Chains A and B, each alone.
Chain A
Amino acid sequence: MNLKKAKDPFRFMTQMSLTQPTGVKVRDLHELLNQLNAVPGSVIYYHTHHFLKQHQYLSPEPPNDFAYWVTHVLREERLGERLASIDTVRFSSLRAIREKLISVIQEYLAGTRTTRTVSDGDELYLMKSISFVFPTSYQARDLEEFLQAVRKISVLSLYHHIFEARLRLEKGVNDFSTWLEGELGEKQLAQWIVGLDPYTQTLEALRARIVRLIEQRLRSLSQEGARAS
């Protein structure tokens, strides 16, 4: 099967991160709201994404720290459920996620007369992370090579190209879809990958779905090739 070759190969990167405490902690919803307005985007990113890497064996994941803390520590279950249901995948910037978090909490506070305060030690400690991005030895020029690499890369590499590129590096779309469409003209495959919700599955499950989509596309290309000959 003759597969289209990219001019620019896809170079797989991997990333690792270090966590930095900000020294800021919140003990009630008013403090949380104030801090959501004030903290850098890296704090919002940390608290909406670190669970994905740290609890890979848990599925479904607690979707974000704010929801977890509000539900399980502050015991404001109704608000916690609303924060948990914020569909991170629909937002293309950290600013938009921040605004959504703020509006959900503001709306809740407007309809509630009393809110709770946690005791010492149960506060939510706000943190951010530093990302280190490294090139790996994997690269791909066509769809088959891309498939082989996606099977082998670490989950951290997958995380980088799907999550970090889209939101933290503010590309708006994951790296895989951008390359597949731009270099190989694989518009539909690119859209299928955009359509996956990476937040409600483990990274390994996400890898398996991407692999299946590429395999499916390769099968149909092979059938088209056979018909043409």
Chain B
Amino acid sequence: MSDFIDLTSAGAESATYGADERDRMGFFTDTTLCIGCKACEVACKQWNQLPSDGYEFTGESYDNTKALSGNTWRHVAFVEQMEPERETGRWLMESDVCKHCTHAGCLDVCPTGAIIRTEFGTVVIQDDICNGCGYCVVACPFGVIGEKQEDHTMGKCTLCYDRLKVGEQPACAKACPTESIQYGVVDELRERAEKRLEKVQQNFEGAQLYLNDPNDGIGGGGSLFLLLDKPHVYGLPPNPIVPTKDLPQRWRTAGIAAAALFGAVVLCAVSRR
């Protein structure tokens, strides 16, 4: 019981790596700079050797990979917003990715210990340990995780852990031609994002940051986003909450209930006698 409480409340700031611990690394995805080229999707798949998700014309604007999945770890959403007269309009593009939550539901619920918090503060599934139970899939408030077709383990962005280990940046950030995907130390990215928002808001009223608040339902993301509209427009949950957030309280309640039940049973037995 106490283990669960530790995991959920500690989050990314809690280091167990000692001297090996590094700065917490993450992404700042600035959608105002995205040109929808999908180089991030391709670079990600190429580096991580992921197969295609199938060849299906969706008719969903220029999006044919539909969503993040076990085989698609970067996904570019396309949102067409034209005025009724279509004199003006917007075509929003946003490259979505695992949020590497400060409080990560997937990590909390993983029964095998396959999902770990790395020395970079990122959340990674070790596919040689994962048994494919899928608990993490339902524990993710963003729908990031899916099953990999090849080996039926679970897959999601690793923030290119293997590249980080040798001092390289993640493949998607490297491939992004317009610096829409920026990689760096999360604290610095948060500052950068704040400054950038100030500038963007001069022209775009609805611009807002997403997952930059350490006090939100996931304790802030390791992946931050600058959006031009409300999160739900891009298919992102407006107020994500890690499902394990109330777990200590629930355990406590369950404990009390169990104790009460036990007491009742004892009482019953005693009173029978």
Are chains A and B native binding partners rather than an unrelated pairing?
Answer: no
Q: Which residues of B contact A (CB under 8 A)?
A: none
Q: Which residues of A contact B (CB under 8 A)?
A: none
